[in-house]
Structure 1
Amino acid sequence: MKNDLKKFRGKVYLAGAGPGDPELLTLKAKRAIEEADVIVYDRLTNPNLLNLNMEAQRIYVGKKAEYHHKNQDEINEILYEEACKGKIVTRLKGGDPYVFGRGGEEALYLKDRGVKFEIIPGVTSSIAGPGYAGIPVTFRNIARSFHVITGQRNDNAELNYKHLARLEGSLIFLMGFKNLAKICKGLLEHGKNPKTPVAIIQWAATSRQKVLTGELSNIYEKSRNADIERPAIIFIGDTVSLRDDLNFYEKLPLFGHNIVITREAKRAQSTIQKFQSLGANILSFPMIETVFTDSAELKEAIENIEIYDYIFFTSVNGVDFFMDKFLQESDVRKLSKTKFCTIGIKTYNALKKYGIKADLMPDVFEGMEAVEVLKNHVDRNDRVLVPRARLGRNEIVNELKEFCLVKEIEVYDTLIKNTDKEEIIESLKDYDDYEIIFTSSSTFKNFAEILGTDLKGVLEKGRIISIGPITSRAVEEAGYKVDIEAEESTIEGIIEAIKEQREKF
């Protein structure tokens, strides 16, 4: 009876994850990920989607040609067993679950065993993939229909090439690259025009996208020398001729760049979106986690806030943790005579969200520059409150103490994030090159600690990008070279630095 009640509470979402670009995820699928206790995902799921829910259990059931991590029967049973534990299970499937995704089989398996399920359609690669390659599946007066065909059959039966060769619209073969020679031969033998344009689209809608074009008569020979790998879509039809005019994705400024983000998960999302909008592929491995630290000392500082002439914020986290606590315990009007100093535009904007504009901010986004700016505005008897991290930089506070009365107060701690070392190594091994961004010295130090003896191999294969001098110093002290340092210590500064570097080559 108890197990029956758990099964009644459990539910499975069979959700389409889209073709590769994580921004093509539907709002409903996003909610299903966020609500999940368990996420079951495959090889074609963009790993950044998993970061929408850092608490859920993750079960990988990936499949690729000739190798299945889990077979379909095992996947069906995993969905059933987890739902029977009373859990919300989100089964993420590349593309759409009902377009050659075996979603129907999984749904029937659950239905027959009394488990609730829901289908969440996804953007199918059969349409979005060609679209990202600059190839419309239909176009007035060129292609009035399109046909999606599986390129492989488990029963070894032949496709009906006689019928397919007579179709006038676009032919889109999924999972068919292995059988490209057979597909071309079958269509040609049944009268398909050998001059028909063909495109093979590898890893569609990702930064690894690669497109090979040709004609039905020569595409197989061209593919043998083109280093095309699966997954790949075969598109046969006259709209391939529009690719040169409609190819937008591969022209984005950071297309082809594989960017490794190491910053805290809750702050990484906007960073990820900025890079993705420019065409970059993102691999996110959060290295740190910030947590609020309450104390009697903080409470006392808030109660006596009016004795301070200045509040000096060195980070966005410092602003958020201090101001949230202050507004819980006190009244913003008590800050009416207090002046504020911030390091960097991000910290300035974080404070502005609370309705406060900083009085002082240095032109250079670096801690000691802010100290110099403040030095010109305070005297020996001014009191300065510095809300900061538990392991914040001592040199800033020590320098401030040379010319004013300083009270530093810990408002948060930076912890090492329990990111799986093997997940990092396994994810990066498929890439020939990548760029690793470190947004603080702590992200680099934690990255080094997690990877241990594997650090050298990972860093030497990629390029190291630093947000500013302090972070660069941490990298160099560990014996590594920083390839790019942002002139402006912001994510926007990093993006500009990467774009400038790209233009040089």
Structure 2
Amino acid sequence: MGKVYLIGAGPGAADLITVRGMRLLEQADVVLHDALIEPAMLDYAPNAKRIAVGKRCGQRSTAQHFINKQIVDAALEHGLVVRLKGGDPMLFGRADEEMRALEAAGVEYEVVPGITAALASAATLKRSLTLRGVSRSVALATHSRAPDSETIREQAQADSLVFYMGRDSAPEIAQQLIDAGRPGATPVAIVEACSTVRERSLTLTLAQMALGEAQEWLDPSQPSLLMIGEAFRERASVELKVQLKGMQAAA
């Protein structure tokens, strides 16, 4: 029986995978990969059998229970199996379901972390997720079509709030946060296809997003991230706000 490695591919660019992840890909017999993996990433596994098992919102995709079975079956036939997952395996990646399937089958496995999109998007925007005097807390979330009011209030309390897979629900997310007390003037940064050649970004306010002003700009074929909070305001404005807070504290 082989061993399975759940490897985080990172946010997109092939060279943002960890060195450990790349070396394991080079040795892999089989690679089961997500839909959003950049093709160049698979070049690190020249001798491996490649199996696409990705999920795309609104498109036909492989059922999770079948993915679990494919991973287990691959481990029964091959020595080194890689399950290549976008971003980090342990964040919104259904890694727990795959790990439980491997444990039930008695298959040895290991998790190799990757750079999640929130960190990579903050880097490309040159905006820190945490910022002294402005942002002391960060929440990473996905959007539910019918979230309870308590969930929305909890999300609204985070200084920096990052929504994964929120493209189609962007106006709804914005309005719910405003209703929960978040100011309409709160800055929003949207990053699409982070770290790839297709990367682009848009800045607007929470009120503008609630009115649907981002929807025509967004590309439904690309992954996107909604980043909400004062930390994503223009740097000069943020620095001035920090200085004013310092002056008020001194007074």
**What TM-score, normalized by structure 1, do the two folds share?**
0.45
Aligned with residue 30 of structure 2, among 28, 38, 61: 38
Partner SS for 1:198: strand
Question: Who is 2:152 aligned against?
Answer: 161
TM-superposed CA distance for 1:44, in Å, is 1.9
Question: Who is 1:84 aligned against?
Answer: 76
Which of structure 1's runs of 4+ aligned residues deviate more than 6 A?
A: none
Matching of residues 352-371 of structure 1 within 5 Å:
none
TM-superposed CA distance for 1:66, in Å, is 1.4
TM-superposed CA distance for 1:35, in Å, is 1.2
Question: Who is 1:48 aligned against?
Answer: 40
Instruction: Provide structure 1 residue ranges, at least 5 long, that are not aligned to the other structure.
Output: 1-6, 246-505
Partner SS for 1:50: helix
- Residue type at the aligned position of 1:186: Q
TM-superposed CA distance for 1:64, in Å, is 0.9
Native 8 Å contact 2:10 2:117 kept in 1: yes
Instruction: Provide structure 2 residue ranges, at least 5 long, that are not aligned to the other structure.
Output: 238-251
Question: Who is 1:180 aligned against?
Answer: 170
Q: Does 1:215 align with 2:205?
A: yes
C-alpha distance in 2 between matches for 1:244 and 1:63 = 40
- Residue type at the aligned position of 2:58: E
Matching of residues 476-495 of structure 1 within 5 Å:
none
CA deviation map 1:468-494 (0-9, x unaligned): xxxxxxxxxxxxxxxxxxxxxxxxxxx
- Residue type at the aligned position of 2:110: E
Aligned with residue 66 of structure 2, among 42, 61, 74: 74
C-alpha distance in 1 between matches for 2:45 and 2:213 = 43
Question: Who is 1:224 aligned against?
Answer: 215
Question: Comparing both chains, which one has the higher relative contact order based on Cα–Cα distances under 8 Å and sequence gaps of 6 or more?
Answer: 2
TM-superposed CA distance for 1:173, in Å, is 0.5
Q: Does 1:121 align with 2:113?
A: yes
Question: Who is 1:13 aligned against?
Answer: 5
C-alpha distance in 1 between matches for 2:128 and 2:119 = 8
Aligned with residue 85 of structure 2, among 81, 88, 93: 93
Aligned-residue sequence identity (percent) comes to: 35
Matching of residues 84-483 of structure 1 within 5 Å:
84-152=76-144, 156-158=146-148, 160-167=151-158, 169-220=159-210, 221-229=212-220, 230-242=222-234
Q: Quickly say closer, same or farther: Cα 1:144–1:43, change in 2 above 3 A.
A: same
Native 8 Å contact 1:152 1:175 kept in 2: no
CA deviation map 1:50-81 (0-9, x unaligned): 11121110001121111243111111010000
Q: Quickly say closer, same or farther: Cα 1:141–1:63, change in 2 above 3 A.
A: same
Partner SS for 1:178: coil
C-alpha distance in 2 between matches for 1:222 and 1:189 = 18
Question: Who is 1:315 aligned against?
Answer: none
**What TM-score, normalized by structure 2, do the two folds share?**
0.87
Native 8 Å contact 1:151 1:177 kept in 2: no
C-alpha distance in 2 between matches for 1:164 and 1:69 = 30
C-alpha distance in 2 between matches for 1:204 and 1:48 = 15
